Amino acid sequence: MATVFARPLLATEHGEFDIGAETLAFALARHCRLALAGVLPLVSNPEFEAVAPQLAAKADAEAATKRKSLASRARAEGVDFELKVRRGSEPYVEIVEEARERAADLIVIRRRGQRGFLANLLVGEMVSKVVAHSPCSVLIAPRGARMWSKRVLVGIDPQAPDKTMLACAAALAADCALPLRVACVAANEAARAPAEQALATALQQARSLGAEVDGEVRVGRAYQELMQAAQVCAADLLVVARHRDDALGRAWIGGVAQKVIGLTECPVLVHMNNPRTPPT
């Protein structure tokens, strides 16, 4: 795993919906023997706080309590953990900026918060914006998320297969001694032939990387077929791609990723195929 991700960042508000992300981030750090950074965004309104400073004081006190709780957990789990509290009007901006400043190569974040405020039906609005603007890959965790231990499933677009994503998925599977399944989804039977070719190429690449891999072509709606494939093969990590200039909700992987993230019960890694190069 250390060869895949070396600078993970946990984004959390340390609430009930963050439990899965926190559990997964600490498990990854332990497994990879990595230091874990954290960012806790606080919504800040300087004008309102100037009129009612007690609100800012209350928010600071709550943040201090959360910091203490997370630090205690890190000590109990033997993880080197550094948390930064960032204030701003948009939590996703603070998370993305912290990732940039730390040259993080992975953000671990919850799937959504409470429905309604700053959230939509499938994926929280904040989380959607983090995925859309992140300079690196994002691992989205539902509340019950745990470290994967059964199988890694990677979904490839037959029209634009991402070799870097496939290499990432193969490395993740190999690191945990898990099998890899490749699912290539064709929109209809007319598109099956190119999908079969894309799958054959992907399997050849994965095997050249030493992965224990198999695969299948499925026909239908991409998000439905990926979810069914995950259920059939008992995958507990699903990997999909996001190109640097794609916002969540655009093109093939946009709409597919949003539905897969929102509906599946396992962690979903949205892989960035061109992450920001860390400073030397």
Could you tell me the residue ranges of all domains in the chain? 8-141, 152-269
* % of the chain residues with pLDDT over 90: 70
At 276, the amino acid letter reads R
Superfamily of domain 152-269: HUPs (3.40.50.620)
pLDDT of 254 reads 54
- Phi, psi torsion values for 39, nearest 5 degrees: -135, 130
Domain pair 8-141 / 152-269, same fold? yes
Token pair in block for residue 133: 């603007």
Let me know: does 145 contact 266? Beta carbons within 8 Å.
yes
Residue 211 pLDDT > 70, yes or no? yes
14, 9, 81, 10: which is closest to 42 by C-alpha? 14
* 112-140 pLDDT tens trace: 865 443 334 567 788 889 998 999 999 99
Q: Has domain 8-141 been given CATH number 3.40.50.620?
A: yes
pLDDT band at residue 54 using 50, 70 and 90 as cut-offs: confident
H/E stretch holding 273: none
CA 278/CA 139 separation, integer angstroms? 19
Could you tell me where the DSSP H helices lie in the chain?
Answer: 19-32, 46-51, 53-77, 91-102, 125-133, 163-175, 192-208, 222-233, 251-263
